[in-house]
A and B are shown apart, each in its own frame.
Chain A
Amino acid sequence: MPKTHAHPYIPNTTPETKRGMMQQIGIKAIDELYSDVPQKLRLKRKLNLPKAMSEQEVKKHVEALLSKNTSTRDMPTFLGAGCWPHYVPAAVDNIMQRSELLTSYTPYQPEISQGMLQALFEYQSMICELTAMDAANSSMYDWASALGEAVRMAVRVNNRTEAIVPKLIHPERLATLQTYVEPLKMHIRKAEYNRETGLINIENLKQLVSNKTAAVYIENPSYLGFIESQVNEIAEITHDRRALFIVGVDPTSLGILKPPGDYDADIAIGEGQPLGNHLNYGGPLLGLFACKGETELIRQMPGRVIGMTTTLKGDKTGFCMALQTREQHIRRERATSNICTNEALCAVASTVYLALLGPDGLRELGETIMTRSQYAMHKLNQMAGVKAPLFSSAHFKEFTVNFDKTGKKVHTIHEALLKQHKIHGGKDISKEFPELGQTSLYCITETHSRNEIDRLAKSLKAVLGRKR
């Protein structure tokens, strides 16, 4: 059947319009516009793709595929490890659908993009309030790539060749860091941890830090959920050798945890996904990036930065991109980073989220998460053969659960939980950190009700009680 109408997304495909336009250009066939593509490079067949579907069919097809997934809404799920289930208030989702924000581009024309620019300035400002830093950029891809950029920034500042990270770092973040710094031929050293508390081994750190050290990096809360409390000592050791102190954070902890700026961190990074962004199977995420107000740091910051200014007439305050001379579109090969498209809309979601919570809401969020995870640890730790958490330090949101004394493998326990009890346990980390034995990482947020935690405990008991 010949086509009788234009494709809904391509209005000029109606025969009259097409013909009229071709006439104006002076061509008889569209193909003339491809005359400069050499014949031997032409694709002489149709692309091998499915036939176009109507909107109804697309919807049905994609929904059918998505229905094969079991989401965290369909079963209690205790996974965190870098991407965390949190409640996203309806107002956040609603604002995110405002098409003026959703469908705009990078604000190259500030006069017509004040909305996005102001929202991003407010985002930067809120991240600075949370982390007690002076300047923030308007987003990076995610925590892992922000770490890579932060260490590269430290090298630009002090021209050194080593970075120190905690041994119990998130393996994906470590892997990303290694990829980012490989071209710099840097050496990444790992600081030992105290077996009892999980905290950085201060003596070992002292030995590692030298005048080759570009940066010392810690995660707080750590990958395994415990809180690094020796922050003042670490800052001192780092700064004694004139290295930069980089701290990675989960921002939901910052209503109750001391912000990195208050213990003299130079750069704060982290994952912004928990602030009003859905899990989305791990992407998009939102890389947080902030630093102290020193000019030499700000000038080396990667990414786009929004600044407050006035109109040329000086009669009004407005917002525009600032310090663009650091960026790739001006600086080219001498830019501080190659990042162009970032995660601006996710940053706006975080801004809306933080505005809804306010300072007290953020503190309550932290307390609720901590209370619930304490409760879960308490319940699990009572089980024969189970140790939760493995380390004696205070924990936030996530904690280790060790099953060594049950004689069972994490893998089998989790499979039984999933198959027989429709519960998704935590993340099996026995391969990531073999020295921790049969251990998994569980995550409890404000979304986990007491019933769910009790159900987890009951199901685990049943699983562990079964002889096999």
Chain B
Amino acid sequence: MYRQAQWNEPVIFKLGGKGRRGCTLPTVDDDVGKLVGNVADTLPKSIRRSQRPRLPELSEVEVVRHFTRLSQMNYGVDSGFYPLGSCTMKYNPKINDLLAGATGLSELHPDQSEETVQGILEILYTLSQWLAEITGTDEVCLQPSAGAHGELLGALLMRACHKRNGDSDKRTELIVPDSAHGTNPASGTMAGFKIVVVPSNSNGTVDLKALKAAVSEKTAGLMLTNPNTLGIFEEDIAEIADIIHEAGGLLYYDGANLNAIMGKTRPGDMGYDVVHINIHKTFGTPHGGGGPGAGPIGVCKELAKFLPVPQIAYDTKRKRYHLDYNRPESVGKVRGFYGSVAVLLRAFAYILSMGAEGLEEAAEISVLNANYLVKKLSEIRGFELPYAKGRPRKHECVFSVKPMSKETGVRAADVAKRLLDYGLHSPTTYFPLVVEEALMIEPTESIEKEELDRFVEALRQISDEAYSDPNLVKNAPYNAAITRLDEVKASHPKTMALSWRMHQNRNVIKAAASKV
């Protein structure tokens, strides 16, 4: 069995000693010092820092060892299989990271004059063209920092479009399916819409009748991922698009599941008006334990005029790339500068190494791998595949362990924790909300068959354990860096410690503090 490093690593504030330093700074020339004097003294008293921040004092070696140990207590895609459905955790090719670290990017300032940044502008411009081709949209904006940021921008563009048509006071509702990711309703609300939820039908797809009942002259649009979060392709997408468009609304594509359809079909061709792309899912760029990502959006012509400034443009006459701020109807900005460029560069390198064929192949194999798992996992006791049996899944599938939970008391969360002991990351749990005791599994194309088989075998063993010794599963994990955590304590007002300072001021976790 697997065993993760357990370092008992103290919080950094407990390490080091007075006077230690991990980094020195260049010294200021004596005569410069003489000329300008002690600058800190020139600060008005009202704004001078009186107490040093209580940062730790460490030598370089202590810092490096501390973070190396922490990294060893962390699981990443390079550590093993990461079947986190909808999050598309596939392998991140190393060449991409290498290129993103090059000084030709890392030391470029965003306000540099355009003639000194022609290379990066060409990369970004070309990438936006490729993404437009892959998504079947007319124009791509690279600025959003993540998928949800793209959703917010997309929803704001819809709003701007309706406003332009004199319709914004009327079109106040955004429709999302009950299987949608939480960011969809949250983004819609942030953009000022009221969220209307439509249920899924027994096939796990959008219920057309319910959709027809939900649309009205108040409808601003529908947000829908396709394949949806159950991994099922919304066959009726053309009709859905018609229903929305006829009602005067716009159709938004949540790009989290684009990996399944690259080169096969395109959101733009399905009738979508706005599409976001989770670069950190589909385009081989690492997720950094929570980010940075990038969430470019592609739009139809009608919406392009509302995109944030600047757009990256090419002047064919002068053969020069430039930043185009001339967009009078722009919604403005959603962040500083132009986007997560270091992440976007990785996507550029990734598409270069894949080509059209490679992307299509990635889609095909991600789907093949998912259906292989559907077949194998369906045979496991206590597992069931809800919705549309016999229909192919796309890149992901959602199993329910409700039967197991009823029969043994072992829940999806327990299965997830026990998997960690087998050296595998868990699937997404309890999502989508339409499936009880859900395990949402996405293998991606980057996993070899032998690893899929190991995963199946681990789940089969966990099922056996659940039926023979449920407590074994319920108390897992045993081999991760730490045993199960008290998540309620972490959020309770009386015991909450969101910083070292808060912890010390309240000394809330008394019992365990001595062991930190």
Whether A59 and B12, one on each chain, are in contact in the complex, defined by CB atoms closer than 8 angstroms, is: no
Known: A115-B73, A141-B149, A172-B333. A13 touches B361 (CB 8 A): yes
Whether A355 and B58, one on each chain, are in contact in the complex, defined by CB atoms closer than 8 angstroms, is: yes
Q: How far is the CB of B225 from chain A (nearest CB, A)?
A: 14
Complex Cα–Cα for A68 and B105 (A): 10
Interface members, chain A 5-35 (any B CB < 8 Å): 7-13, 17-18, 20-22, 24-27, 30, 32-35
Which residues of the other chain, B, contact A370 by a CB distance below 8 angstroms?
A: 39-40
Which residues of the other chain, A, contact B106 by a CB distance below 8 angstroms?
A: 71, 278-280
Which residues of the other chain, B, contact A215 by a CB distance below 8 angstroms?
A: none
Whether B71 and A62, one on each chain, are in contact in the complex, defined by CB atoms closer than 8 angstroms, is: no
- A40 at interface by CB-CB < 8 Å: yes
- Per-residue interface assignment for chain B, residues 309 to 344, with 1 indicating a CB less than 8 Å from any chain A CB and 0 otherwise: 000000000000000000000011111111111111
Known: A374-B36, A450-B29. A312 touches B483 (CB 8 A): yes
Which residues of the other chain, A, contact B156 by a CB distance below 8 angstroms?
A: 179, 182-183
- Per-residue interface assignment for chain B, residues 54 to 82, with 1 indicating a CB less than 8 Å from any chain A CB and 0 otherwise: 11111010011011111111111111001
- Per-residue interface assignment for chain A, residues 51 to 66, with 1 indicating a CB less than 8 Å from any chain B CB and 0 otherwise: 1111101110111011
* Closest 7 A/B residue pairs (Cβ): A183-B192, A66-B104, A344-B290, A282-B337, A345-B288, A282-B110, A52-B355
Which of B94-102, B207-215, B465-473 makes up part of the contact surface?
B94-102
- A114 at interface by CB-CB < 8 Å: yes
Q: Choose from A126, A255, A304, A317 the contact partner of B513 (Cβ within 8 Å).
A: A317
Which residues of the other chain, A, contact B118 by a CB distance below 8 angstroms?
A: 68-69
- Chain B, interface size category, equals 35 or more
Whether A315 and B188, one on each chain, are in contact in the complex, defined by CB atoms closer than 8 angstroms, is: no
Q: Choose from B108, B376, B428 the contact partner of A280 (Cβ within 8 Å).
A: B108
Whether A342 and B146, one on each chain, are in contact in the complex, defined by CB atoms closer than 8 angstroms, is: yes
Whether A142 and B117, one on each chain, are in contact in the complex, defined by CB atoms closer than 8 angstroms, is: no
Whether B89 and A105, one on each chain, are in contact in the complex, defined by CB atoms closer than 8 angstroms, is: yes
Complex Cα–Cα for A231 and B29 (A): 33
Interface members, chain A 276-293 (any B CB < 8 Å): 278-285, 293
Q: How far is the CB of B439 from chain A (nearest CB, A)?
A: 13
Whether B482 and A111, one on each chain, are in contact in the complex, defined by CB atoms closer than 8 angstroms, is: yes
Complex Cα–Cα for A7 and B353 (A): 10
Complex Cα–Cα for A285 and B110 (A): 12
Complex Cα–Cα for A231 and B182 (A): 39
Whether A304 and B290, one on each chain, are in contact in the complex, defined by CB atoms closer than 8 angstroms, is: yes
Whether B491 and A49, one on each chain, are in contact in the complex, defined by CB atoms closer than 8 angstroms, is: no
- Per-residue interface assignment for chain A, residues 249 to 261, with 1 indicating a CB less than 8 Å from any chain B CB and 0 otherwise: 0000011111100
Whether B23 and A89, one on each chain, are in contact in the complex, defined by CB atoms closer than 8 angstroms, is: yes
- B406 at interface by CB-CB < 8 Å: no
Q: Choose from A47, A323, A346, A356 the contact partner of B134 (Cβ within 8 Å).
A: A47
Q: What residue in chain A is nearest B134 (Cβ atoms)?
A: A47
Q: How far is the CB of B305 from chain A (nearest CB, A)?
A: 16
Q: Choose from B355, B483, B489 the contact partner of A49 (Cβ within 8 Å).
A: B355
Q: What residue in chain A is nearest B392 (Cβ atoms)?
A: A33
Complex Cα–Cα for A52 and B361 (A): 12
Complex Cα–Cα for A257 and B52 (A): 10
Interface members, chain A 300-343 (any B CB < 8 Å): 304-325, 327-335, 337-343
Complex Cα–Cα for A258 and B20 (A): 24
Which residues of the other chain, B, contact A438 by a CB distance below 8 angstroms?
A: none
Q: How far is the CB of B292 from chain A (nearest CB, A)?
A: 3
Q: Could you name 26 residue pairs across A and B whose Cβ atoms are closer than 8 Å?
A: A9-B446, A10-B361, A12-B448, A33-B392, A41-B265, A55-B93, A67-B119, A100-B79, A112-B74, A113-B289, A121-B500, A141-B149, A142-B337, A176-B333, A180-B190, A227-B47, A232-B46, A258-B48, A280-B105, A298-B496, A304-B290, A338-B152, A356-B21, A357-B21, A361-B21, A394-B44
